[in-house]
Structure 1
């Protein structure tokens, strides 16, 4: 039976408009993007198949484009729609913190950084450059590495901080493994950056490690 033959209140699009997006299952939400199914099945059937093969909605959206392309029914147009929707969500979450609000605790910084860095298949080292009231000047991804590590150069971090006239910095990087627990090398680079930035009177407020389930604040652990 085609979705158009379903009762109006059970069709994903109409259900969303009548009851809100929270009332839809993962498969129903995904079906709205897919729009059509494959031969012999509806868009909801295809969505359920994709979610089962990927291991859930988050796992599906975290797939790299090349791997997503190997799933049934995931042509270029559908991949583009899903990846664009994911990026819209990330920017929506990050935007309120990019308007000069003070980042005075790990929760605020963690929200912004999780929206930007979680789920990336490679390691990225980034900085939040702040003014003397700890308001965000700019977010920058400074170094990008393999799935294992990113080479971080303290001299470059210092140079960028001085160019932005930053008074403070929050360091951050993601763990592509999804496990946010800091490594010994994470602690080591933090100490090097604290020392290098301290020479030019720029304070390191925190270093956040971003994983799939959240983040770890080195400052909260007394590691700064």
Structure 2
């Protein structure tokens, strides 16, 4: 049932309500029912929406659900296609906007863009954003995939990717499926090592962003990227055995 009301095909109560008020006051189940009512009769859409909430518990998990799971619940193929389009459109729009920007300006732009593509991931994924010497985004690459609570990352491989793409600057992004973007000790150690290697190879590390649930953590915003750069400079200037050992470790 498409939104083309006629005397024989009137709007459902939720469709009518949505046209005049938007999503204001809608529950997750009502939003799902509204979506399903575009192709299903009202009673069927309501019953199926109830099953979806029982299965997925909330709208976000419904939007991110695997196709096979949606099919198993009896959701029509046309609705599944529409659902995946709705889920992917925000990331697509933000991707276009951020690539059209004359230069990278803020970690908030990166976080907003990648949030929509990473918020529902059940495993940690580590991405590298390659920028040219004008701070324009050239490419976004998935480098590593881990488990729900950890990921093994090799700093050497990270920088090899930068050299291969002739990258002048990098931004790193990974997600915490737990929803808490607070960096772990290993997150901080990894970022410090990558900043050190970047300084050696003359590739700037602009930021490392961790995506959580409705929030993010930026190493640059917190001053840690600058701190690590100063650490590297200090190690080079001291010339002590400890400095040499540390620099050798990250090469």
Query: Which residue of structure 2 aligns with residue 8 of structure 1?
Result: 11
1:196 equivalenced with 2:197 (yes/no): yes
Counterpart for residue 155 of structure 1: 156
The match for 2:61 among 59, 63, 68 is: 59
> CA-atom RMSD, angstroms?
3.0
Residue 87 in 1 paired to residue 88 in 2? yes
What runs of 5+ residues in structure 2 fail to find an aligned partner?
Answer: 226-251
Higher alpha-carbon Rg:
2
Q: Within 2, Cα distance between the matches of 1:183 and 1:69?
A: 38
TM-score normalised to structure 2 length: 0.73
C-alpha separation between the residues in 2 aligned to 1:167 and 1:116?
25
Equivalent residue for 1:128?
Answer: 129
Runs of 4+ aligned structure 1 residues displaced above 6 Å come to 3-6
| C-alpha distance in 1 between matches for 2:151 and 2:78 | 32
- TM-superposed CA distance for 1:24, in Å, is 8.4
Report the Cα distance in structure 1 between the residues aligned to 2:77 and 2:183, rounded to whole angstroms: 37
Shift of residue 42, structure 1, vs aligned partner: 3.5
How many residue pairs get matched?
Answer: 217
Q: Distance in 2 between matches of 1:116 and 1:99?
A: 19
The Cα of 1:29 is off from its aligned counterpart by 4.2
Q: Which has the higher helix share?
A: 2
Q: TM-score normalized by structure 1? A: 0.81
Partner of 2:168: 167
| Gap change, CA 1:215 and 1:52, over 3 Å in 2 | same
Q: Any idea what SS the aligned residue of 1:8 has?
A: coil
Q: Please name the residue that 2:234 is paired with.
A: none
Aligned 8 A contact 2:94 2:112 in 1: yes
Unaligned runs of 5+ in 1: none
